[in-house]
């Protein structure tokens, strides 16, 4: 799950390539890849009861927290309720990542249920991610200019990082505008629809990415999700404009969504090392450019929910459902020798990863 961002690759000085991490040119470690496949053969089936329970409970807690943030008279309790809403809705929203990987026949109705509970109400229907995120996992696309979810942030200017977060903070307003205003315009003016599809229909961070027109089943899914989100956005704006929904309640709603988006964007900053500058990478190199933050730390349960704390492992085995990643990690960490590349992608904390990324951008700035 990412947000649209405009950052120019030309902001990176070419001199920075002298300090390029060696992981970019790492050959595949066949022993690791073989062991990963063999030890996880029994973990690929998603368990519907876990998916549905997690989603429904997270959404229920999130909306209850939202109601508390709006209705509670005590500022302290209202802020506490708002914090609960942020993390619960963020967790529920993170299932969009699972939707881009799971075989929908194994989870009947889950896409529809997620869109009804989260995607449409929070302005992030699943079509904005499905058909986009899978390109990030393509062997020949990862880390290249054709990857919708990759920028060489570690090689860019220091201001890129706060700008990255600012864009996320504005994402809920931008998405609501996209569906309330741009979608109806595209329906009335077909020529504009091409612009909407290619430029404003993907949760991506690569400004050069252009989305293709959907076909077949994806086209019909796209249409009903976009229509439903557009109607909801227009109705909500109209309700605020006419006083049916108090402006204060609306702003609290947007504030909670914006905070969740910023947390997700911080997580995105540490999901990879962001050191590749466009070259194709081996699977092992992609793994080493990605990040696991496994237990014993407990905070990743909040800021990297639904298996996102095992992001490197996810790149190694993208077909594993989120609830199997912890088991897979324990098996591989035990089975693979200490010198295996598998252990090199495991990190202890968010703070250390952010410091590493910030230090890299500062080094780049000094070389200019």
Instruction: Report the phi/psi class of residue 367: left, alpha or beta, with left for phi > 0 and alpha for psi in -120 to 50.
Output: alpha
Three-state SS at 292: strand
CA distances from 185 to 63, 182, 189, 251, 265 (A): 31, 5, 6, 25, 29
pLDDT of residue 38: 97
Read off the pLDDT of residues 63-114 as tens digits, 9 standing for 90 and up: 999 999 999 999 999 999 999 999 999 999 999 999 999 999 999 999 999 9
pLDDT of residue 279: 87
CA distance 208 to 152: 13
Closest CA to 182 of 192, 173, 191, 170: 192
pLDDT of residue 15: 31
Instruction: Report the phi/psi class of residue 217: left, alpha or beta, with left for phi > 0 and alpha for psi in -120 to 50.
Output: alpha
Q: What b/e string do you get for 48-67 counting C-beta neighbours within 10 Å, with b at 16 or more?
A: eeebeebbeebbebbbebbe
Contact 69, 82 (CB under 8 A): yes
Where do we find the tokens 């990415």? 209
Closest CA to 276 of 21, 30, 41, 38: 21
Contact 231, 133 (CB under 8 A): no
pLDDT of residue 9: 35
Q: Which residues contact 14 (CB under 8 A, 6 or more apart)?
A: none
Closest CA to 93 of 108, 115, 69: 115
Q: Where are the beta strands (DSSP E) in the chain?
A: none
Residues of the chain with pLDDT under 50: 2-22
pLDDT of residue 368: 60
Q: Which helix (H) or strand (E) element contains residue 146?
A: none
pLDDT of residue 1: 52
Contact 173, 123 (CB under 8 A): no
Q: For residue 175, with 0-12 CB atoms within 10 Å meaning exposed, 13-18 middle and 19 or more buried, which class applies?
A: buried
Closest CA to 253 of 164, 165, 200, 175: 175
CA distance 211 to 209: 7
pLDDT of residue 245: 97
């Amino acid at each position: 799950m990412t947000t649209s961002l405009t950052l120019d690759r030309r902001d990176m000085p070419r001199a920075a390539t002298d300090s390029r991490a060696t992981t970019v040119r790492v050959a595949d470690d066949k022993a690791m890849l073989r062991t990963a496949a063999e030890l996880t053969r029994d973990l690929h089936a998603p368990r519907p009861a876990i998916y549905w329970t997690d989603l429904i409970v997270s959404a229920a807690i999130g909306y209850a927290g939202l109601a508390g943030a709006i209705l509670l008279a005590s500022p302290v309790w209202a802020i506490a309720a708002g914090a609960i809403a942020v993390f619960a809705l963020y967790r529920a929203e993170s299932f969009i990542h699972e939707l881009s990987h799971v075989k929908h026949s194994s989870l009947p109705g889950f896409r529809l249920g997620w869109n009804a509970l989260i995607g449409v109400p929070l302005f992030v229907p699943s079509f904005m991610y499905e058909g986009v995120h899978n390109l990030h996992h393509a062997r020949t696309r990862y880390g290249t200019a054709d990857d919708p979810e990759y920028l060489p942030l570690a090689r860019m200017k220091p201001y890129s990082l706060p700008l990255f977060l600012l864009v996320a903070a504005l994402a809920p307003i931008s998405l609501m505008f996209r569906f309330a205003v741009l979608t109806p315009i595209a329906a009335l003016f077909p020529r504009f629809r091409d612009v909407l599809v290619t430029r404003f229909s993907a949760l991506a961070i690569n400004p050069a990415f252009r989305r293709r027109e959907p076909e077949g089943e994806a086209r019909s899914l796209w249409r009903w999700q976009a229509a439903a989100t557009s109607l909801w956005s227009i109705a909500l704006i109209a309700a605020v404009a006419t006083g049916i929904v108090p402006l204060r309640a609306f702003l609290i709603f947007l504030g909670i969504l914006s905070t969740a988006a910023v947390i997700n964007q911080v997580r995105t900053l540490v999901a990879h090392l962001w050191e590749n500058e466009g070259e194709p990478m081996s699977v092992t190199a992609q793994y080493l450019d990605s990040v696991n933050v496994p237990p014993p730390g407990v905070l990743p349960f909040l800021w990297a929910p639904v298996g996102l704390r095992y992001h490197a492992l996810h790149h190694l085995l993208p077909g594993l459902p989120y609830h199997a990643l912890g088991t897979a990690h324990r098996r591989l960490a035990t089975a693979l020798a200490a010198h295996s590349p598998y252990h090199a992608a495991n990190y202890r904390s968010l703070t250390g990863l952010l410091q590493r990324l910030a230090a890299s951008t500062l080094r780049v700035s000094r070389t200019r």
